[in-house]
Structure 1
């Protein structure tokens, strides 16, 4: 019996994850392949999980702090063997009471003489966060000479990554309070900061918590606590990321791409202003690019007391940085910046529209979705609200952003193109079945065009997951037949660079159903002995996606901005009753609540009504198709942030990530076959 170190739940010895809370019961590097599995779990750590151990600690003193070489004041009390003291951090520094030599010195330009060698030290009493470098940098508030804050930053390693952080535990205990903070409009947390401090959340952590929806542009806070008068905030370590200004110093960088970056910064202005951290956008060394060349911040900086940076300050910094880059000035951009400085443009919404207009001057772009869907029957197609908006992704349902008449201005769209499409697929027997009735099909065709100036790709992808049923071996036959029938159909009915219309997709699904139904008749199958299968299918053509489903297998979309979205609605009795207005508790209290209302094979075509949707891919995302063995018991709803969100990054290994998710599903569920198909879609602006 394995006792969970987090919740003390008793697990079988074979479990790798706690069945109650999902905490790993052994190191990821010890995962083995399941005896019934069709794949082997990798023995190395997932890149994303490993990267979480390398973090950035920000230690803030709330009162004026006079650092002296002979100071004995403890910063953090760990234990007798690993006490971190101010004297440890500053023993080699000289004249640290004067901020003149450090306050305006960027992190990237510090010399070795500014750094202080340390011993093996920990930042917390539990010896969880170990300093990950031989050097500690005393910032002493390098950005503002009139601030009363003193700051020390250092890279650390989380040596207990399998354990919940102090912040995560506090969020569970105070879930309602944290939900209220996330929905806060007036930033009243500033007026009740003392209360947050009393429950253990330092004031410095609150802006990160409020702005979590802006990840990865805003670092997602990893941990935070306070000890006496010090606040400690733990963030991802981005200290080695590329500076934004380093990239646009490249003379070959298209001017439209610089406009794109400026617009990304403009979109962050209002959210950061609302939480009093707009200063973060005015510091060149704080603006970074991730591996996908998305604009991100190293960390958040609170505005100095009684200081509120303006939109004019923002564009003035742009002006300075562009001059420093040595690029040839662009008259249109110079005129736009001058209009903001003079007050002719006074809202970030107006500024954003003007930047977009400048970027579009060299493009003749028309949304192709309308042309692609002319043949679609209205009753068979559902377009998601605001699916065609691109630049307003932060403004949709965004309480933090102040609204005004500028919002009524037309939204312009800069063309987006594919940067990368990668897929991974796997099916697993599960821990309690003796045969696998799931089947999947994946077909991705990539056309690449590359020259000395640019590289573009065009993708056509067909992804199918079927979960069979109908007695011994009949389920396997049904799911396999359905996948093959659909693959053969679209081989001859999808031959252009546009997605098939809804009528064409429906015809393919009905053909697969008729094939299975006729097989049942030919073999005199009746009642429960009739074979059948669920079906979910996604068709990808560049940045356009069509999805269709019959039954209770599902399709999810995972993005950094919206999180996990279930794109399909189960065809089962309980969901049907909810659609009719019945309360969910009553609908799923029925004994037949999980009985399918639709499936391919058991009934003739007039009973089959597939649901079809068309979506436009607007941001980096994952598309997950899965059987109910993976989605049962809200597994994905409860654990998507751990197992799926990290896979959006192009640095992560998609196949290994899917293997780990299915291995976890075997421990969490395991009662059924488990199948998943993951598609990672990465975009970039078309310059």
Structure 2
């Protein structure tokens, strides 16, 4: 929606020439022009009319829709963030679906002392939309009818996946406002967030809302969806995890109606200012892979850290390790199951981390001498794309509707946002904003938190993996439409596009090595084959506590009854639990620091390493912490804790600390002797010992999480909330490493909480 009343400033900081809004490129330097549309919140926007220019910068182009005409200039980003906007910050890892706070606009004209808060990444059509540019994407309910079955299930699946994160932040009501739910192709996006004013919505209410969609549901899934709604309204489905599992099964069956062809190409270059290349990629640079199965659909980009000869060793070492672990993943897993795939990807990442870390130890590298690497990896399986990420290399998801960054950098600026300390564009102003908080190889896998995301692929799209040699200075945002969309339209091929992106990195940035991987997922429907209607789902009535914690186990929540393991003696443990009752303990844990890997943007060497992420050398980044509350009063008698070894099952304990771990964290792991974590346990959590066994002559205790502690762990430590344990999680801990309070006495309330009564 061009408007002749204003101009659009060139985003190139060395140019910033004003251009006409209908132009696509700066007339002076040729840089693609960015049209950043924003959503205005607050009554301060009410007096303005279409076409008004606000504060000589923002042009009102639609109802509450503003165009930033000077995108190269930082917006007003106050230090103090109002409480109602904190959920946006803490939900920043979900920015693919949830808008983020761009800044504040203070206006004195037409309405005195009014404020307008601006959201970016809002479901507003960009310049690729033609006449619809600057307009909101359609509401889900308005286009639900006559949409394919797999697309409808995909939207529901995303809806269900957002439920628990939004519920945790007190904004689940947003998912009950149909006017907030917008769809951009296959992607479900929220217009804004709504605070849960009284009691939060329930899954039963969600089921009632979903019932209104039944009439327009595709015939292939109508009975299936009807049964899901019934189970929700009758409270048979009690958790969002359970709901996601049911939708996963339906998607897996329904997606067989589509054919998927994958094409992968990579390219890497040392760049004009470096004499060696510390980046690495798989497949090898310039090699094109085409596959109609997901057997060889693996793409990896690593950006080495540590300088010559560190980073150029670490990045290929990571890729070799990952390739060896994942080469036969598709064949080794008997069938598709998200939990098993997630575990395999996390364990492969930990193996790559340890391979580099072990070599650092063998070569006696310490502090800044330790080599490491970032990682972004794409692996397809069945109808899904799995993205694994550590560091500040990025993955972008490009469709004909738009381009979205799907990874969140593991740097200090993103950490500030995730903890609710600062708006992102304000955090970027700090000198150390680009310093990394984690990378592969710097320390043990016990402190590594790789992120694994999965996406349902039901339309042709491209995933761009790249090092910061390309992504710095918003180059992908500027050039995706010109360089990547032609692939989807058949106007260019992958090798040509990859070469062009490397050229852009070298000419427009040029300060670092540059590496890209393009993964083209081409989706076409199979010829009409009379697809059968999905059978209604049935719930398997097995308590969550009995979920097998092994790495090949099914999801932790109750499952749909299709494959009961008759060899699992679940009934015996169930009877024992009913007989003895459930109980819990308060875990008094102070989180320790993970190793901090700091690397400034544009540099390939380590800037600093610190054992506490809140003890950052840059005073502008460090935030003052609230005073800690003593865990016991000064007059309380000292109690000598004892080991958890030899405790009976079931047993109620109060965890105090680990005595043999290098970290102060108490982490539950999926298997004894494995580094892959179920999650970190915040202090104040209620736990129960439900089992024990020996592994390599050491006793391990199986614990169940009954409730989560109320300490604000996000203030203490930069760990995303999704890395913490959840109620119902089950995991192992080495018994000899844990100290417990010998005089701990459980209360009736704790027992009730643990039994779910």
TM-score (norm 2): 0.41
Larger radius of gyration: 1
| Larger helix fraction of residues | 1
User: Structure 1 length as normaliser, TM-score?
Assistant: 0.44
The answer to which structure, 1 or 2, has the higher relative contact order (CA under 8 A, 6+ apart) is 1
